[in-house]
Amino acid sequence: MLITRIPRPISIIGDFTKKTISFASCNFTTTIDYNKNIEEQTSCSTWSKVLSCLQNTTSLQKSSLIKCFETNHEFHKVYSSIFGGLNYLTTNNDLWFSIKLDYKKDFFEHLMIFEINKNFFEYKKQAEKNLIKIDNLEKMVSDFYDSYQENNWVFLGQLINSYWKIKREIDPDSKNPYIERLYSDCRLNGAIGGKMDESLMILFVPKENQENIKRIMIDHTQINNSIDLNGLLYQEIFSGSSNCCK
């Protein structure tokens, strides 16, 4: 039996634009024998699209992946799922350019990621968005890249906060009154910035304030914020006793 392990993709900044930064998280979706039986172990909005790409592609070539989508809004997530790492991606209808960013421990130590309890919020993706202020958003992505290279974590967190303010206008379904209050409480208790990525709340928080945030987020599940460098992995299982995916 063929086991396919797909890292969960998380968007940091740049949703709905042609410039995005996303990473492959170590929270895996495990797919069992995807040609016959798909079993989703961890919720992930793009896992089925990744599988569709693989089934329609003879090899994991980057140039072929972008052709699997009618739009490019999800391309950065699929790219991160398959190739792993922290990625700065620029896409166009037929062209793309990617930069694999170096792993920086300080950046990931600032990240706190929570799966929001469905009793409080469940994201319902809509096909059309109010695509305004795109130039401003893409400038923020470029500034994020510069700040990351310079280890300017405070400004980087402020960029994420400014980006989220605009994203709420583009995608009103990414929030509700509860999310607004929750995010405000996190900001008042030490989060520099943050945003929603579907049903995930990503917060950028100095280590000294993280215990405060955990208390605020007690109703929600904190997930692993570490990066997966390998991307998609295949592994053949020859017996039912294998523990390869634990």
Output the domain CATH number for residue 159.
3.30.70.890
Q: Whole-angstrom Cα distance, residue 159 to residue 176?
A: 22
**Domain extent at residue 39:** 2-103+227-236
Do 181 and 89 belong to one domain? no
Do 115 and 149 belong to one domain? yes
Do 84 and 131 belong to one domain? no
Do 63 and 115 belong to one domain? no
Do 163 and 81 belong to one domain? no
97 within some domain: yes
Number of domains in the chain: 2
Q: What is the pLDDT of residue 60?
A: 62
Burial class (CB in 10 A: 0-12, 13-18, 19+), 195: buried
Q: What is the pLDDT of residue 91?
A: 76
Q: Whole-angstrom Cα distance, residue 43 to residue 8?
A: 8
Q: What is the pLDDT of residue 66?
A: 62
Q: What is the pLDDT of residue 242?
A: 47
Do 92 and 22 belong to one domain? yes
76 within some domain: yes
241 within some domain: no
**Strands across the sheet containing 221-223:** 193-197, 200-204, 111-115, 221-223
Which residues, at least 6 apart from 140, have a Cβ–Cβ distance to it below 8 Å?
Answer: 13, 14, 159, 162, 163
Do 110 and 217 belong to one domain? yes
Do 125 and 99 belong to one domain? no
Q: Mean pLDDT, 10 residues at a time, over the chain (246 residues)?
A: 79 88 84 52 60 65 63 76 90 76 95 94 71 75 95 96 90 92 97 94 97 96 89 68 45
Do 18 and 128 belong to one domain? no
Q: Which of 232, 23, 213, 40 is nearest to 114 (CA)?
A: 213
